[in-house]
Amino acid sequence: MLGEETTSGRPHLFGLRPPDLVAALAARGVECTDAESRRICAHFVSHGQTSLRTLRRPVRRPLREAVEAIFEREGLTLVERVRDDDDGFVKYLFRHADGALTEAVRIPLERAGRYTLCLSSQVGCAMRCGFCATGALGLRRNLRAWEIVAAFAGVRDDLAREHPEGRIHGAVFMGQGEPFHNYDEVVRAAQVLSDPCGGRITQEAITISTVGLVPQIRRYAAEGHVFRLIVSMTSAVAERRSTLLPVAGRFAVAEVVDALRAVQARHGGRVTVAWVLMGGVNHGEDELEALRTQFEGVPLRINLIDVNRWAEDGTRRATDEERHDFVGRLHAMGIATQRRYSGGRNKHAACGMLAARHEEQMGAVPREAPFQGLVELDA
Place 270 in a pLDDT band, splitting at 50, 70 and 90.
Answer: very high
Span 92-107, pLDDT tens digits: 999 999 999 999 999 9
Determine the pLDDT at residue 215.
95
- The pLDDT tens digits for 169-203 are 999 999 999 999 999 999 999 999 999 999 999 99
Query: In sequence order, what are the residues at sequence separation of 6 or more whose Cβ sits closer than 8 angstroms to the Cβ of residue 75?
Result: 14, 150, 153, 154, 157
The CATH architecture assigned to 77-377 reads Alpha-Beta Barrel (3.20)
Region 122-141: mean pLDDT is 74
Taking a C-beta distance cutoff of 8 angstroms, is the pair 183, 121 a contact?
Answer: no
Task: Kindly list the distances between the CA atom of residue 88 and the CA atoms of 248, 349, 372, in Å, as whole numbers in the listed order.
Answer: 34, 11, 15
Whether the model clears a pTM of 0.95, i.e. scores above it, the answer is: no
State residue 308's pLDDT score.
66
Identify the active-site residue in 4, 36, 103, 147.
103
With CA atoms as reference, report the closest residue to 207 among 248, 174, 254: 174
Please tell me the predicted confidence (pLDDT) of residue 229: 96
Active-site residue (options: 118, 351, 359, 368): 351
Name which residue leads in pLDDT, 249 or 293: 293
pLDDT in tens, 140-166: 899 999 999 999 999 999 999 999 999
Report pLDDT for 349: 47
pLDDT value of residue 86: 81
Instruction: Please state the rounded mean pLDDT for residues 194-218.
Output: 96
Of 241-250, 289-298, 330-339, where does mean pLDDT reach its minimum?
241-250
Q: Worst-scoring range by mean pLDDT, 52-66, 196-210, 237-251?
A: 237-251
Is 103 annotated in the active site? Answer: yes
- Say if residues 18 and 195 touch (Cβ distance below 8 Å): yes
Q: Is the pLDDT of residue 2 over 70?
A: no
pLDDT at 11 over 80: yes
Above 50 in pLDDT, residue 370?
no
In 3D, which of 247, 368, 241 has the Cα closest to residue 316? 368
204 in catalytic set = no
Task: Please enumerate in sequence order all residues whose Cβ is within 8 A of that of 83, keeping only pairs 6 or more positions apart, or say none.
Answer: 89, 90, 91, 347
Q: What is the mean pLDDT of residues 305-319?
A: 72
